[in-house]
Structure 1
Amino acid sequence: MSSQKVSSIKVPQFDKPRYNLWKKKMLLYIRASSPEYMRVLREGRHVPMKDHLELPNMKISCPEAEWSARDKKLIALDEGLRLILVDSMDDDMSHQIMVCDSAKHIWETIQLLMEGTEDVRQNRLYILTSQYEAFKSLPGESITQVFERLNKLLNKLSIHGKTYPKREVNRKFILVLPHHLENKASFVRERVDFETMTLEKLYGKQKTHKMEHEQMKIIYGGGTVDRKNV
């Protein structure tokens, strides 16, 4: 997708209190602007090189006058991505990144300022992973509250580079649901698409069952429903 196709979409504006949400939006915007931007973000600014005339198998930086068309294109990608990142910043953050010489440098500086060092990020990931492993429904919690808490935790893990297969997430959700939904949970687990459906779809099925259960209670006064007479 070319940058022209997202030119009408405003660059996500930096929001310090909601940094994690901004980061996720920015990554989506960057990918939509140009697939090549993600490579620039990972690998850094392109540096044109040429062979050393006297030392074989050695490269030296190439002066701008000798840049090829490909060199100019790759360098333009870095400049474009730098512009997107700078355009998203507030005044306070802008002052801290303007000295950065590449888009990758800007991105890493933002992450360092907002997330801390690599050790700090790894510690946060460890804490989030531990929270996921120990996740369970709370007393009196609704299906929606369980889903929202789990989904929020998964989003935080995703931002920190940790994702889980759909089947594992679905099993986690089923296992932590309130006990009165156990029969419906067992039925859903037996579906052929259980391991491939999204968590949102799984939640929707559980929510529908809950609503049907409440409707039955209204109709039959909370008594046991005799399916043969329905």
Structure 2
Amino acid sequence: MTTLDEQMIVAGAKNCPRMLDKTTYNSCQSRMLLYIKGKKNGRMMLESIENGYLVYPTIKEDGKIRDKKYVKLTKQEKLQDDCDVLATNIVLQGLPPDVYSLVNHCKAAKDIWDRVKLRMQGTKLSYQERECKLYNEFDKFTSIKGESLYEYYLRFSKLINDMHIIGMTMQQVQVNTNFLNALQLEWSKFVTDVKLAKNMYNTNFDQLYAYMSKHE
């Protein structure tokens, strides 16, 4: 079994995105998985991250049972083993030095991924705290005096995106209503017009923004 450093040299992944920043971990994680999926044999690499590396089949030789050597594996087994190495390499390339030093004893992409996820996301309680924080931000979201409609839309979009990343869901009408009601008072006439012109249940806030930007 090769070391992690040797795996990185053998695999030679290029230009992989940064995976880890604790403040933006969820979006970085999603970007990393999408990057891997887009690589050749990406789905096999994702399989390695989600379910672990290939367990070498065993053979009986001279009365002893041992793992097959790489050269004796089937073509499909060799491909999966290579994908295991590539997946490990890509994940490692996304680790800052302080995190890398905590997982350099792991030999499989899944082990590294799980340990890093625990470090970055914490326990279920930590997730609940983040969820509560985002719900609180959503409930208290309001426009800032002097900002343009576009700036307001960008801030709202980022908040909704952060909520989607960790799996939070809300009814479309709830999102749309909050988007409109949090605008400054000078928009009140247009807000009323929009509510009359658009179906708040099947229109998204991007479409509401596009409609209202014509009147800004």
User: What is the TM-score with the length of structure 1 in the denominator?
Assistant: 0.65
Residue number in structure 2 paired with 1:57 = none
> SS of the counterpart of 2:15?
coil
Given the alignment of the two structures, is residue 78 of structure 1 paired with residue 111 of structure 2, yes or no? Answer: no
1:12 is aligned with what amino acid?
P
> By how many angstroms is 1:11 displaced?
1.1
- Out of 5, 15, 31, the residue aligned to residue 10 of structure 1 is 15
Percent of residue pairs identical: 20
> By how many angstroms is 1:188 displaced?
3.4
Describe how 1:30-41 pairs up with structure 2 within 5 A.
30-33=36-39, 34-41=42-49
Residue number in structure 1 paired with 2:117 = 111
The runs of 5 or more residues in structure 2 that have no matched partner are: 1-11, 59-64
Describe how 1:133-172 pairs up with structure 2 within 5 A.
134-138=139-143, 140=145, 142=147, 143-164=149-170, 166=172, 168-172=174-178
- Asked if 2 retains the 8 angstrom alpha-carbon contact of 1:97 and 1:109, the reply is yes
Residue number in structure 2 paired with 1:89 = 95
RMSD: 3.5
> By how many angstroms is 1:82 displaced?
0.9
Q: Per the alignment, do residues 189 and 126 of structure 1 end up closer, same or farther by CA in structure 2, a change over 3 Å counting?
A: same
Describe how 1:1-230 pairs up with structure 2 within 5 A.
10-14=15-19, 16=21, 19-20=24-25, 21-33=27-39, 34-47=42-55, 63-65=67-69, 67-132=73-138, 134-138=139-143, 140=145, 142=147, 143-164=149-170, 166=172, 168-190=174-196, 198-210=204-216
> By how many angstroms is 1:49 displaced?
6.0
User: What is the TM-score with the length of structure 2 in the denominator?
Assistant: 0.69
Residue number in structure 2 paired with 1:227 = none
Q: Per the alignment, do residues 8 and 89 of structure 1 end up closer, same or farther by CA in structure 2, a change over 3 Å counting?
A: closer
Structure of greater relative contact order (alpha carbons < 8 Å, 6+ residues apart): 2
> SS of the counterpart of 2:38?
helix
Q: Aligned partners of 1:194, 1:43: CA distance in 2, in Å? A: 42
Q: Per the alignment, do residues 112 and 8 of structure 1 end up closer, same or farther by CA in structure 2, a change over 3 Å counting?
A: closer
The runs of 5 or more residues in structure 1 that have no matched partner are: 1-6, 51-60, 211-230
> By how many angstroms is 1:199 displaced?
3.6
1:63 is aligned with what amino acid?
D
Q: Aligned partners of 1:68, 1:193: CA distance in 2, in Å? A: 57
> By how many angstroms is 1:75 displaced?
2.9
**Number of residue pairs matched?**
193
Range that drifts further, 182-191 or 72-81:
182-191
